[in-house]
A = this chain, B = another copy of it.
Amino acid sequence: MSGERRPRVVIVGAGFGGLACARALHGAPVEVVLVDRHNYHVFTPLLYQVATALLEPAEVAQPVRQLLQKLPGVDFRLGDVTGVDLDARVVQSDRGPLAYDHLVLAAGAVNDYFGNREIAKRSLGLGTLSESLALRNAVLERFEQAAWTEDPVQRRRLLTFAVVGGGPTGVEFAGAFAELVHEALARDYPHLDLDRVEIVLVEGSSAPLSTFAPKLQRASQRALEGKGVRVLSGAKASAIDEQGLRLDDGRTIGAATVAWAAGVRAASLADGLELEQGSHARLKVLPTLQVPGRPEVLVVGDMAAIPQAHGRPESLPMLAQVAIQSGRHAGEAIAASLHGRSPQDFRYRDLGTMATQGRNAAVAQIGPLKLSGMLGWLAWLLVHIVALGGLRTRLLVLINWAAAYLLTERPVRLITGTTERPDEQEA
């Protein structure tokens, strides 16, 4: 290596954290390589709309190389990172090794099945684009199967859907799915009585959206129930078998389809590094986002157990905003270190959280401001349209949202590809 070689930063993951880091390194005297197993960046907050036949993949996913065109110093490599040799400073991938001087781990999170392989196999997640497409295919397929069957017991099972997990993902999916069923699909299947479709949202704590203010929890539950979702709180999923979803209180929900939104854990890459892991398998980091004893390795976003500022015991939550802000901080820290400056502690700025329950219904909690109903929904709409990148994407999404809102239409109700759980992650 010549003395003139620029230091090389390898960023693992092109999600919110990895991209923010690459952007923060723009102009720094480094060579940046961003690696991801997909060639696209996903706007994950809208994946549930792919699963409910509202949006197409290209409306929530953008080619990574397109996003990098504005960052000429950043190279992209498609590859599945399988491990890191921390001593040799080499990232291993299914397509070859990548040496680094600085490493940023931003591989995100995967569904957490709490070690239950049966649940992993028999449920459908909402964590990736492939998972959301498979869930869309699976729910549409159930209605087609119901159209063939003459057996009322079988038909009832086909038209019962369980959603496990009352966090924002489960709540948003359940609300949008209820609207899909009672609006677009009700017209599709005049011979099926879709008023009898059961959508059951199962939440372990006392109410869905447990991280929101109690007032907003109640508003959200009322909105879901108004759309025909049955909310089962204080119940945990224990198994899935031929009969349906078994709960720990002994009850069974006779559902042919179980959507799994009960939680996520750090991507499996975190497990193989022999580094200390916190809850949800996240990698423990210093307040600077550096791995203890490895100052050249930083971890950001869902993959990192980032300490809270005021010594609170829990790490920062798994949110897009945490990923974006910590990714940006990591990029700035590396750029600063090239000028000999020592790294600063990361400070998270809470911009609030929101969750929608479908048309005209969302809850939003922004500092002291608490919105629900129509006002919350307008706030949700505005934030998401602004956050979506690009004029073309915004136009396409707005057209589809207008079709859904004004015509109760879901044009993307296509069964394309598999209805099986995609084979891209382990339980």
Contact = CB atoms under 8 A, between A and B. Distances in A.
Interface in A180-218: 187-191
A63 B416 contact: no
Contacts of A409: 392
Contacts of A396: 396, 399
A78 B147 contact: yes
A96 interface: yes
Contacts of A191: 75
A69 B187 contact: yes
B415 A148 contact: no
Contacts of A311: none
Interface string A74-85: 011111000000
Interface in A377-411: 390, 392-393, 395-396, 399-400, 403, 409, 411
A133 interface: yes
B189 A58 contact: no
A39 B414 contact: yes
Contacts of A416: 40, 57, 61, 129-130, 133
A403 B61 CA distance: 16
B188 A69 contact: yes
A58 B412 contact: yes
Contacts of A66: 188, 411, 413
Contacts of A141: 78
SS of A interface (majority): mixed
Nearest to A137: B39
B56 A58 contact: yes
Interface string A274-306: 000000000000000000000000000000000
A400 B393 CA distance: 10
A65 to B, nearest CB: 4
- Interface magnitude class on chain A: 35 or more
Contacts of A395: 399
Nearest to A413: B63
A347 interface: no
A26 interface: no
A62 interface: yes
Interface string A10-50: 00000000000000000000000000001110000000000
Contacts of A390: 411
Given A77-B148, A133-B416, 10 more contacts: A38-B415, A56-B57, A62-B411, A63-B413, A63-B414, A78-B148, A96-B148, A133-B417, A392-B400, A393-B411
Given A399-B392, A399-B396, A189 B412 contact: no
Contact of A144 (B59, B61, B78, B187): B78
Contacts of A62: 411
Nearest to A128: B416
A417 B38 CA distance: 10
A33 B40 CA distance: 41
Of A140, A188, A190, A403, chain B has the most CB atoms within 10 Å of the CB of: A188
A414 B130 contact: no
Contacts of A413: 39, 63, 65-66
A3 interface: no
